[in-house]
Amino acid sequence: MKLTKIMLVGIITSASLSYALDNLTLPIESQAKEVYVGGIWASYDDGSIQNFGPGFKFGLMPNLELGIEVPLTNFSPDHGSGEFGLNQVTIGAKYAFAPTLAGFVDFALPFGSSKIVDDNPTLNTDFGVLIDTRADQIHLRGNVSYEWIPENKDKYDAGNIFGVELRPGFQLNPGFEAFLDMTFAGVNTSAVDGTDRPGTSNWLFVAGPGALVNIDKTTRIEGLVDFLLLKDKDNGLNWALSLQFNKQL
């Protein structure tokens, strides 16, 4: 159950703000540097999960961005003791192949706290495409992503995550944009030969309002709250609150 919850929170954050190397924006300019701190609070029927941590992006050359994130995860069950530790550090690259389109690939490195990840974590791969375009006051962002989680040394927990997000926004003034976030996520874990662990599948649709505030030309804050609207089966998720702060150096 913990794995499924991590995957569900992961796809929400991947398709929204944090922990997918900010994969809703085009690559930053060549030689530019940007730091950010993001987090998400996901509420479940039996507790909550928090993901948070810093990230760094660097424009290696025109249209190509490299990045790294160091996420921390905290489990806060309603009953029993919580668990806190380092989640899998993620490195990635993003390349703009058109003025409004980019492709990305991220790698979750195979190490982290045993309280949060498996004793034998794998190198997880996430890839996809994103759109970031404007027409007057209308701003449309979105992405399609797929994450592959290979079988680990203990011969279980292989799986995959598929996500689609759209985020239409309206710029009310130069420093403030309101938007609607809509995310569909599908999660599958496969039964592996030689074990008695059953495979699982789940999907959900979340949506909610958000806002983007440009404090100045180099600093922005973005936040949103997603509510569970549709689901394949009961997964306990109620809502997820995301917040991210970005600063160009």
Separation of alpha carbons 10 and 213, rounded Å: 24
Gyration radius from the chain CA atoms: 18
Nearest residue to 210 via CA among 226, 197, 198:
226
| Secondary structure letter of residue 25 according to DSSP | S
User: What 3-state class would DSSP assign to 39?
Assistant: strand
Output the six-digit token pair for 44: 């479940």
Q: How far is CA 77 from the centre of its chain?
A: 22
CA 113 vs CA 83, 85, 185, 223, 226: distances in Å: 10, 5, 25, 28, 28
pLDDT digits (tens, 9 = 90+) for 191-240: 555 454 555 677 788 899 999 999 998 999 999 888 888 877 666 678 88
Counting residues of the chain whose pLDDT is more than 70, the rounded percentage is 79
Q: Bigger pLDDT: 164 or 113?
A: 164
Q: How confident is the model at residue 28 (pLDDT cuts 50, 70, 90)?
A: very high
Going by C-beta distance under 8 Å and a sequence separation of 6 or more, which residues neighbour residue 173?
none
Q: Bigger pLDDT: 17 or 180?
A: 180
Mean pLDDT for the chain?
Answer: 81
| Secondary structure letter of residue 156 according to DSSP | -
CATH code: domain 2-248 is: 2.40.128.130
Query: Is it the case that residue 19 has pLDDT exceeding 50?
Result: no
- Mean pLDDT value across residues 52-78: 90
Residue extents of the structural domains in the chain: 2-248
